[in-house]
Amino acid sequence: MVRFLPFLISLVLSVYALFSCIQTPDEDVPHLPKLVWIVLIVFVPFVGPIVWLLMSRTQGGGGREAVVRPSRPVGRPPAPDDDPDFLKSLDRYRDPRTTVKPPEPEDPKNKAKDDDSPSENDEGTA
């Protein structure tokens, strides 16, 4: 079982380096064309994969750190219960039989007119 260990290590290392080389963009491949690196990885066990892994790491990480992630939006969206547009959109789903409408606020202009006119209890005497 122990005598298969070097072969297994070589195989795993070669497969890892081969996939790493294939996934690397052409402009990020260090020093040699990508096809030459693939041939070295496949046909030179241990040395080819190790050299590829060392060279690709010293080349700047293969451009992996250069990935720019989109920044978070500056303002957070309001919660659904604080968003008036969202609350208005829910009105069409409400059952009119179970919805209690709030009383309409009285207009102060109409209230002032009612105070100036005589009431039913008032007989118009001063």
Q: Which residue did the predictor score with more confidence, 65 or 70?
A: 70
Structural contact between residues 37 and 19, judged by C-beta atoms closer than 8 angstroms: no
pLDDT of residue 116: 54
pLDDT of residue 5: 87
> For residue 82, what are its two tokens?
């604080």
- Given a cut of 60, whether residue 65 has pLDDT beyond it is no
Q: Mean pLDDT over residues 31-59, rounded?
A: 86
14-44, pLDDT tens digit by residue?
A: 999 999 888 888 888 888 888 888 888 889 8
pLDDT band for position 69 (cuts 50, 70, 90):
low
Residue 24's CB is within 10 A of a number of other CB atoms, namely: 19
Buried-state track 27-44, b at ≥16 Cβ within 10 A, e below 16: eebbeeeeeebbebbeee
- Given a cut of 70, whether residue 3 has pLDDT beyond it is yes
Task: With 0.75 as the threshold, say if the pTM is over it.
Answer: no
